[in-house]
């Protein structure tokens, strides 16, 4: 095989690899890496990939023989209990995974006991002098 044929084949391989690389770059640019997609957002189950879901927009609970909205927080007061943070559910009909979301958090305040606020950890500091020593 002559040098010219080998060079032509190598150039064809390089062009094919460059095209594949462009495709991978395009996929990476549009992909959301490392992010968990919820059933609410993706309309698919993150556990089994199924798309057959149920949505319960105003979940209820049974208390004292009557149905009341399901909420994330209850406060007892002089005039009775108040509920805050109504909940909605998404349920996969394939694997039965339930995903719950607070519809809003109006009236839900961290108190350190029944409602605990968790804040993100601070980013680690880089050692002085940069990564090279």
Q: Say yes or no: 9 and 55 in one domain.
A: no
Q: Give the residue, 116 or 63, on which the prediction is more confident.
A: 116
Q: Say yes or no: 60 and 84 in one domain.
A: yes
Q: Say yes or no: 66 and 42 in one domain.
A: yes
Does residue 127 lie in a domain region?
no
Q: Say yes or no: 25 and 49 in one domain.
A: no
What confidence tier does 133 reach under pLDDT thresholds 50, 70, 90?
low
pLDDT at 32 (0 to 100): 57
Q: Say yes or no: 13 and 51 in one domain.
A: no
DSSP 11-57: HHHHHHHHHHHHHHHHHHHH--TT-PPPHHHHSS-TTT----EEEET
Q: Say yes or no: 97 and 44 in one domain.
A: yes
- Give the mean model confidence (pLDDT) for residues 108-125: 86
Rounded CA gap, 109 and 74, in Å? 11
Q: Say yes or no: 23 and 85 in one domain.
A: no
- Report pLDDT digits (tens) over 51-82: 999 999 999 988 888 998 899 998 888 988 88
What confidence tier does 98 reach under pLDDT thresholds 50, 70, 90?
very high
Dihedral sign, CA of 62, 66, 68, 72?
negative
Q: Say yes or no: 54 and 95 in one domain.
A: yes
Rounded CA gap, 52 and 90, in Å? 10
Domain holding 89, by residue range, is 38-115
pTM (2 d.p.): 0.59
- Report pLDDT digits (tens) over 6-56: 888 898 998 888 888 888 877 776 665 566 788 998 899 988 889 999 999
Q: What total of structural domains would you count in the chain?
A: 2
Q: Say yes or no: 52 and 99 in one domain.
A: yes
């Amino acid at each position: 095989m002559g040098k010219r044929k080998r060079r032509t084949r190598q150039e064809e391989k390089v062009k094919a690899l460059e095209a594949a690389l462009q495709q991978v770059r395009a996929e990476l640019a549009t992909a959301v890496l490392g992010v968990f997609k919820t059933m609410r957002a993706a309309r698919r189950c993150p556990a089994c990939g199924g798309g057959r879901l149920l949505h319960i927009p105003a979940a209820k609970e049974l208390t004292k023989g009557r149905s009341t909205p399901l909420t994330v927080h209850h406060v007892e007061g002089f005039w009775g209990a108040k509920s805050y943070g109504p909940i909605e559910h998404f349920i996969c009909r394939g694997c039965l995974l339930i995903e719950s979301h607070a519809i809003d958090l109006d009236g839900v305040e961290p108190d350190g006991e029944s409602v605990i606020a968790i804040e993100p950890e601070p980013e680690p500091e880089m050692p002085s002098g940069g990564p090279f020593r």
